[in-house]
Chain A
Amino acid sequence: MHEIKNEKVINYSMCFIYACLVIFFIAHLPVVFISVLAVICAWNFYLTYNNKPKPNSIFANILAGAALVLMLFSVGMSDTVILFVAMLMLSSLFKLLQAKTKKHYHVITTLTFFSLSSVYLFNQSILTTLTVSGLYILNFAVLGLLESKHNLKIASKQSGKLLLLALPLAIFLLLFLPKMPAFWQLPGPKLAKTGLSEQVDPFDIAKLSNSDELVFRATFNNSAPSAPYYWRAIVHDEFNGNAWLTSDFLKYNNLKSNSKNDFDEQFIASYSVIAEPASQKWLYGLSYSRSDSQNVETNTLGLLRKKNYQAKSLQYDVTSSRFTSTPLTDFENKRYTYLTHKKNVKAASLAKNLKQNTQTDRQFYNQLLQYFVDNKFTYTLTPTPMSGDNTIDQFLFDNKRGFCGHYASAAAYIFRSAGIPARLASGYLGGELNLDNSTLSVRQYDAHAWVEVYIHNEGWVIFDATAVVAPERLNGSLSQNEALNTEFKSNLDFGLVSLSNSPGINWLRLELENLDYQWSSWVLGFDKQKQNDFLKSLFGSRNIWLVPLIVLLTSGICFLAYFVYLNLPKRATKLAPMVKEFYEIQKWAQKHNIKTPDHLTPSQQLQVYMEQSPQSAQSISAFSQLFNQVRYGKKSFTNERKTQAKDLIKLIKTSK
C-alpha cells in the first residue's frame, strides 16, 4: 500500500536529517546508544536504497523495546534532559523504520522539529544555527512533499522561501518583543566538558586538553592588561592526599562579597565576557573580579558564579582588581596551611629545607621556582600516570615531567608544608586574540591550574611553576605555542585548530571565530539591557516602557486582523454589478426568516420574498426587474440605476 508519491525521497531526507543529528549528539550521548541510533538510521537507508519492505511492526516493536532498555542502562536516569533527547531520537528513528502511511510520516516530521530544536540545548553557535536551519528547511520540504507531487527541489525552495519570510518577523520579535523572564526552565543538560572539575587530581590523567571547544570570550573595554591572563574559575582549598578539592566551607559559606575593601582596590581591567552554555555554575574572571550583571554573583574570593543553572550562553560585565593585602584571619591562615595526609615525606622535607634557607615568604617563593628550573622539570601533555599515596613525591623526585596540575599540586603541597597559606586555583590561561585584537577566545584546551600563595604584605600572589618550566605557555594560547605545538596537535581531535599551520585555514578559522563572536554577542546575548539600550537609541529615553507595550499591541492587532481576514468568507475580489445588492436583499430575507430552496434562480427567490412579504412586494418586483436587466440584460450599471437599487433596498428594508 503505497499512497505516498515521494516516499523514497522522503525516506532519504529523513535519514539525512537523523544522520546529522546522530553526528551532532555523538559528544553528548553514550557511545553504545549513539551506535544503536546510527545503525537504525543506516538500516532505514539500506531498506530505502534497495526498495525492500520495512520490518513488520511486531519485530520493530520488540527491537524498540530492547533499544529502550539499552537506552535506560547506557544513558541512565540522572540527567533527565539527556534522557529526553535520547528518547526523542530513539522514538523518531523507530517510527521512521516502521512508517508506511502518510500519517506516520506526518508524526515523524513533527517529531523531527523537536529533535532539531533539542540541538540548541547543547550548542547555539552560528554554525549550529545555520546547519539546523538547513535541516529545518529540509524537514519543511518533506512536510510539503507529503501533500504534493512536486520534487524535493521545488519543495525545498518553497520552504526556504517561507523560512526567509519568517526571518524579518524573527528579527522584529528579537528587537522589540519585551524580554520576559521564562515561566519555566529546563534544568539544562549536564554538558560533558573536559576542562575543569571541582577536583584536581592530575596524577591519574594521562591525556589532556583534547578539546578545542569554546569556553568563553572576553572583550576588554579599554586597553587589555598585559599577559598572562589567569582566568580564575574555581579555588581548591582542601587536599585529600591525592586530589585538591573545594571544601564545603568555600562552596556554601562565601556567597556575597561585602564591598568593604572597595577603597584599596587596584583596578586592573574591565571587560565583558560571553560564557558558552555549560551546566556548571562557575564563571570566569581575572584576579579579584566583581560583576554587577544580572544572574551573576560575586563571592569574597573574587570568583564569579551563575545565580541559577542555565544551559545557555551568558553575557556579563566584570571589573577586576588586584588582591588586597589585608592580613588573613587566624581561621583563614589555618585553613590554607592545613594538610591532613602527610605521606609525601620527601616533599615535606624539601619544604623544610627551603624554609630553613630563606627568611621571608617571598624568598621561599623564589627559591621554589628556582628549584623547578634547576632540577630540569619538563612540561608535557602526556604525563606518566602515577598511583599510590605519595604521588607528589613520585612527581617531584622521580618523574619530573607533568602539566600544570602536577606543578600546582606539588607546589601548593610544599607551600602548605612550609606553613605558607596556599590554595590551588583552576581556570584558564591565556586565550587567543581575534583578528582585531579586541576579543580573547578561550577554549577548553586552555584549561590551567596554578597556585595562589598568600605572602605577607603582598596578599594573594600567583605561583605558577609552569611559567618557569614552559614559559611560552604564559603568552597566548596553547595553539600558538611553538614548542608544544606538535604534542598539542597530536592530542587534539580533528578540527580547524589542528589545521592552523596553513595560514589560509588559520585566517578562515579566525574569521569564523569573529563571526561566531558577533553572533553570540548580538543575537544570543541580546538581553534586556541591550534591548533597552537599543530602544533608547531608537526612540529616545522618555517613556521607554511604552515601546514594548505598543509593539506588543500593534503586532497583536496585526495578527488578529490577519486571522480574521483568513477566516472571512471567500468572495470574488470584485463583485459584478447588482450582485452585492442582491446579497443584501438575501441577508434581509434571512433576517426575516424567509427561506428559499437553494436551487432557485435569483428572480425566483425574489418572487418568494414577494409572496412572503407582501408589504414590500412592489419594491421587490422593481428590484427584480432591475436585477434582471443589469445582470442578465447587460445593461450598464449607471449611477441612476445604482441609486435606484439603493433606494429599493432601503424601501424593502424599511417596509417591515
Chain B
Amino acid sequence: MQSTVTSIIEDLSSVIFGKKEQIKLALTCLFSQGHLLIEDLPGMGKTTLSHALSAVLGLTYQRVQFTSDLLPADIIGTNVFNSSEHSFTFHKGPIFSQVVLADEINRAGPKTQSALLEAMEEQQVTVDGKKYSLPDPFFVIATQNPLYQSGTYPLPESQLDRFLMRISLGFPPKEAEKRLILDMQKRDYSQLPQRINQQELAQIQAQISDLTLSSPVVDYIIELVNYTRKSNAFAASLSPRASMALAKAAKAWAYIDGRDFVMPEDVQAIFASVCQHRLGLHNESGDEQVNSILKAVMVPV
C-alpha cells in the first residue's frame, strides 16, 4: 500500500510542480477524512490540485463556483415538480459528489456558506424534511480568496473549525514555473491514471486511524495546545477538537511517511496547516507565529 501512496504523490507532482509538501498535506487531509481549505490568489493551481486528486483516487468530482447570488438550493439540489407523475422529485445538486471543489467560498453569502458547511459536518442534507446521504468518501476542497479582497464574506471561526486543514499553495519556484510554461500543452490531469479504488481508500483510512499514537506524542500535542491557551498572542486558542484534529492529521502524515507510529515530527509537520486558521491567523504572518509556538514548546522525551 505504501508504494501506492508514493506513486499517488508522484502523479500529483507531475501535474503541480514544486509543491510536494502541499500535495502531501492535501493527501493527509483526505486520508484523515477531513476537509481542506485552500487560501490563495486566483491561478495558483487550486483547481488543478483538486481535480488531479479526484482523478488519481478515482473519485467523482464536481466544482461549484461560489458567487454572491448563489443560493443553498444551488448546491444541495431542489424538489422539482414532475408534471407527468404529479409529484415532486429531488434533483441532486453538485454537492452529491465525492470530491466537491467549492471555489471562492467566501464570495457567497453566509446562508449558502452555512448550507455547505452543515453538509460537510453531517455528511447528509435535508430537503423538505427528507434526508439525503452524501456519498462516501466525501471530501470538500474549498478555496478562499485572501480576505482583503473586495466582495468577500469571511467565514466565521466556528465554520473555519470544520476544515481540518488550511493550506496555501503559494507561488511556484522559478524552475517549476519554467517547466509549467514549457509543458503547457501536455498538462492534462484527466489523463492521470487511477491509482486506487474506493475500497482501498477506505482501507487506508482505517489503517491510519489504527496507527500507534504513543503517550509522549499525545503529551506533546497537549503541551502545544495548552501553550496557545495560556498565551495572549492569539485571537483564539485551540479547542479540544483542534487537539483531536492534530492527532488525526499527524497519524495520516506518519502513514504517508511510511511509518506505523506517530512521532513528534509528524505533529510539527501538520501543526501549521491544522492550527493557523483555528488560531485566527492570516496566511502571511501566520507561519511565523505558528513557528514561534513550535519553538517555545519543549518536546517531551
Contact = CB atoms under 8 A, between A and B. Distances in A.
Contacts of B217: 632
Contacts of A633: 212, 214, 259-261
A628 B299 CA distance: 14
A604 B297 CA distance: 14
Given A582-B301, A598-B298, A603 B263 contact: yes
A602 B261 contact: no
Contacts of B301: 579, 582-583, 602, 631
Interface string A571-606: 000001001001100000000000001111111100
A597 B295 contact: yes
A18 B260 CA distance: 70
Contacts of B259: 633
Interface of A: 576, 579, 582-583, 597-604, 628-629, 631-634
Contact of B264 (A576, A579, A601): A601
A92 B252 CA distance: 68
A631 B216 contact: yes
A599 B297 contact: yes
Interface string B185-229: 000000000000000000000000000101111000000000000
Contacts of A628: 261, 263
Given A633-B214, A633-B260, A634-B212, A599 B265 contact: no
B214 A632 contact: yes
A637 B32 CA distance: 30
A602 B295 contact: no
Nearest to B216: A631
A634 B214 contact: yes
A600 B301 CA distance: 10
B268 interface: yes
B296 A602 contact: no
B239 to A, nearest CB: 23
21 contacts: A576-B216, A597-B295, A598-B298, A599-B295, A599-B297, A599-B299, A601-B268, A601-B299, A602-B301, A629-B261, A631-B214, A631-B216, A631-B301, A632-B216, A632-B217, A632-B261, A632-B263, A632-B264, A633-B212, A633-B214, A634-B214
Nearest to B254: A632
B71 interface: no
A359 to B, nearest CB: 110
A602 B264 contact: yes
Contacts, number: 48
A597 B299 CA distance: 11
A600 B296 CA distance: 10
A576 B301 CA distance: 9
Interface in B250-297: 259-265, 268, 294-297
Contacts of A632: 212, 214, 216-217, 261-264
A645 to B, nearest CB: 14
Contacts of A601: 263-265, 268, 299
A601 B268 CA distance: 9
A69 to B, nearest CB: 56
A598 B301 CA distance: 12
Nearest to B292: A599
Contacts of A600: 299
Nearest to A600: B299
A583 B301 CA distance: 9
Those 5 A-B pairs whose CB atoms lie nearest each other, nearest first:
A633-B261, A601-B264, A601-B299, A599-B295, A632-B261
B261 A634 contact: yes
Contact of B298 (A582, A599, A604, A629): A599
B42 to A, nearest CB: 37
Nearest to A580: B301
Given A599-B296, A599-B298, A601-B263, 5 more contacts: A599-B299, A604-B265, A628-B261, A633-B260, A634-B261
Which of B261, B296, B297 has the most chain A CB atoms inside 10 A of its CB? B261
Contacts of A629: 261
A583 B268 CA distance: 22
Contacts of A599: 294-299
Contacts of B296: 599
B38 to A, nearest CB: 28
A599 B298 CA distance: 5
A625 B214 CA distance: 15
Contacts of A598: 298
B294 to A, nearest CB: 6
A598 B297 CA distance: 8
Nearest to A633: B261
A602 B262 CA distance: 13
Nearest to A578: B301
A599 B300 CA distance: 9
B269 to A, nearest CB: 11
Contacts of B295: 597, 599
